[in-house]
Amino acid sequence: MREILNAPFLVEMMRTTANMYRLGWDERNGGNISLLLDEAELGEYLDLDHVLREIPTGFQAPALAGRCFLVTGTGKYFKNVQYDPENSLGILRLKEDGATAQLLWGFSDGGTFTSELPTHLMSHAARLEVDPRQRVVLHCHPLNLVAMTFVHDLDQRAFTRTLWQMCTECIMFFPDGVGVLPWMVCGTNEIGRATAEKMRDTRLVVWAHHGIYGVGASLDEAFGLVETAEKGAQIYMKIAHLPWKQFITDGQLRQVAARFGLTPRAGYLD
C-alpha cells in the first residue's frame, strides 16, 4: 500500500486550500471543496474494505452511490490543511442508499464533512450528467465577487455581461456565463437544489452576499474559473463609480469567441 499523504489528489488539495486561504477567499473555516476520486487509484493508497465509521449525509444521492470523494471538514480552516490533512480532510464513499457516507480516511479528531456536502453532491450529480470529466466542486468567498453582489443587478445575464466586458479572458474561460442566486440560507438542501439547477448549464454559480461555486475537471480548472471571474469583479469594483469611456463591446466579444471557437451563452450578447 502506498503512502496516502503522497497521493497526487491529496497533495493538490493541500496546495489548493493553502493558496485559496492566502488569497483571502476562505477566511476562518469558510469555504469547502469536494473531489470525486477514481476508485482504482484510491485503492493504491487505502484498504477500501476498511470503514472507520458511517455518517448520515442528510440528503439522498442515489446517482452517486458507491462513489468516493475527498472533502473538506466542517469547522476546519483551509490554512491548516497542509499541516494536518488527516484532521482537516476526509475520504468518503456513499453507500447504496446514497444517504450514508462511509469514512475511509481522515477527520481524525472525530469530526465530519462540510455542512455544504448536500450542495456539493447535488452539484456533482448535475455536472456529471453534462460532462463526466468534471470531478471538482469548489466553494469560496472571493472579496470582489461578493462585493459586486451588493452594487450590481443580480440578473445573471447582466452580471455575466459585465464580467465579460471587464477583461478578455472572462468570455474565453466561462462563455457559458455565470449563474446568480439571491441571498439564501447556506447549508440547506434548498440552496443546494437551486445551485445544482444552475449547474446544469453553467460552471460558476454566485451566491449573493456570500460567495461562489465553481466546478471543473481538476482542482486547477475549478480554481482558475473562480480566479478569472474574481479578476473581472475586481476590475469592475475599481471602476464602477467612475465614468466609463470604453469597454469591450459585444462585437469585440463575438470576435474573441470566433477566434477561439467558443459559443457564448445564447441570448447574452446583444
Q: In what helix (H) or strand (E) does residue 103 lie, and over which residues does it extend?
A: strand 100-106
What is the residue-wise DSSP string for 193-228? Answer: HHHHHHHTT-SEEEETTTEEEEEESSHHHHHHHHHH
Listed as ranges, residues in the chain with pLDDT below 50 are none
Do residues 111 and 140 share a domain?
no
Is 83 in the same domain as 213?
A: no
> What pLDDT, in 10s, does the model give residues 24-70?
999 999 999 999 999 999 999 999 999 999 999 988 899 999 999 99
CATH of the domain at 6: 3.40.225.10
Same domain, yes or no, for 111 and 126? no
Q: Look at residue 76 in the predicted model and tell me its pLDDT.
A: 96
| Residue 207: predicted pLDDT | 98
Catalytic residue, candidates 39, 116, 190, 197: 116
Q: How high is the pLDDT of residue 59? A: 84
If one counts the domains in the chain, the total is 2
**Which of 115, 144, 177 is the C-terminal boundary of a domain?**
115
Phi-psi region of 137 (alpha: psi -120 to 50; beta: other; left: phi over 0): beta
pLDDT in tens, 184-205: 999 999 999 999 999 999 999 9
The per-residue pLDDT of the chain, averaged, comes to 96
116 is catalytic: yes
Please check whether residues 162 and 50 belong to one and the same domain. no
Angle among Cα 204, 181, 36 to the nearest 5 degrees reads: 40
pTM of the predicted model as reported, rounded to 2 decimal places: 0.96
User: Do residue 141 and residue 249 come from a single domain?
Assistant: yes
* Residue 38: count of CB within 10 angstroms of its CB: 11
Coil, helix or strand at residue 87: helix
12-24 tens-digit pLDDT: 999 999 999 999 9
Residues 104 and 8 in one domain: yes
Are 120 and 106 in a shared domain? no
Q: Which domain holds residue 106?
A: 1-115
Assess whether 50 and 170 both reside in one domain.
Answer: no
